[in-house]
Structure 1
Amino acid sequence: MILPPFKPPKYDELRAWYRRYQSDDVRRLIFEVQAQRYALPKVRAVADACRIDTENDQPQIVRMKKLNQLLRMIDAEISRADKIYRSPPVAHPNAPTLVGRGS
């Protein structure tokens, strides 16, 4: 599914919707939006730590531990959300072709 441009709801709007709509399904969607908003800053913090460790020439084992932590966090969010349906990627017209490279 390709999402059209839209204005995401602000926190106060989500709270108002939670109070207005008693449906479990609507509330579950509100929880999902908020759960993703809680997860993103945590993922960003680990990504920043990975970047800083690289810039500061930390040993590779230190960088790999943080990178693996980041990947586990991303995987946990993806699997918690179940399948993510999206259109197959379309190659950029200027992208190099990998035909004949054994990939």
Structure 2
Amino acid sequence: MTRSTLTLWRSRTTARSSSTGASIERAARLHHRLSWIHPFRNGNGRHARMAADVYLHSQRHPLPDWPAEELTATNDIRRRYLAALKAADQGDFGLLIALMGSLLPTG
């Protein structure tokens, strides 16, 4: 991630609330931005998910249980994941936030 991209992300997100929902939203935006800049030939999604998890961990927030094997095959979870990233490309982060929220541990 370039320094200017990180600075822009930080400036857009630090002014927001520190609630649980805000943490997931910031993690979703970070995840999307890393996926969008596509810095590697392979592994961009894994890298973005890891970075989002590191951010959430730093906020003492539960981590999504990303189904790694299922994200590499054509199935419903992968279709939802890709649709969420495409919606985020258009500025709509709702699907990605909802997907990440649905993957949080319960109880």
Give the TM-score normalised by the residue count of structure 1. 0.30
Query: Normalized per residue, which structure has more helix?
Result: 2
Give the TM-score normalised by the residue count of structure 2. 0.29
